[in-house]
Structures are given as C-alpha cells and as structure tokens.
Amino acid sequence: MIVPALALVLEFPMGVAIGTSLLVIAVIAVNAAVALAARAGAGSIDWGTTLVFTAAATAGVGAGKRIADRLEPESMQRAFAALLVTY
C-alpha cells in the first residue's frame, strides 16, 4: 500500500515509489532481524520453517527483479493497479 500512496498522493515516479517502499521494507527487516536475534537464544524458533521461508523469499525477489527488468514501468503500474482493484 506504500507504493500507490507514494505514486498517487505524493506523485513520485513509479521507480522512486518502489525504491522508497523497498527502503521502508529494509528498515522493517532490520528490526525483524534484531527481534530474531533476541529470540534465537530462547529456543522458540523453528529453524526449518524459517529457512524454507527465507529461501522462498530470496527466490521470489530474484524472479521478480528479472521480470521487472523486462517490463515497462507503465505496464507494471497498470498491473499493480489491477491487483489492488481485484484484491
């Protein structure tokens, strides 16, 4: 929801909106990593599940970048808008 707000309300170009959104996500990820480190010693983490989700997310990022590199920004914006409307 950050990308549409940045693109529509603040009139950021789509690439800048996506990059800014990724920065926000990176900050949240650092916070999550600190929380993970704090809980790691407690033994309450299922490392198998954690590794599966991490591998899937990493593969998704790589695939998404390859797809995004082949598309025009306008078509990505239209596809994202359609996703928001249908979801």
Model confidence, pTM: 0.51
pLDDT value at residue 35: 87
Per-residue pLDDT tens, the chain, 87 aa: give them: 788 888 888 989 888 888 899 999 999 999 988 888 888 777 777 889 989 999 999 999 999 889 888 999 888 888 888 888 887
pLDDT value at residue 7: 85
Burial class of residue 17 in the structure, from the number of CB atoms within 10 Å of its CB (0-12 exposed, 13-18 middle, 19+ buried): buried
Nearest one of 2, 37, 34, 32 to 17, comparing CA atoms: 2
**What DSSP letter does each residue of 25-61 carry, written as one string?**
HHHHHHHHHHHHHHHHTTT---HHHHHHHHHHHHHHH
pLDDT value at residue 83: 84
Which DSSP letter does residue 71 get?
Answer: S
**What DSSP letter does each residue of 4-23 carry, written as one string?**
HIIIIIS---HHHHHHHHHH
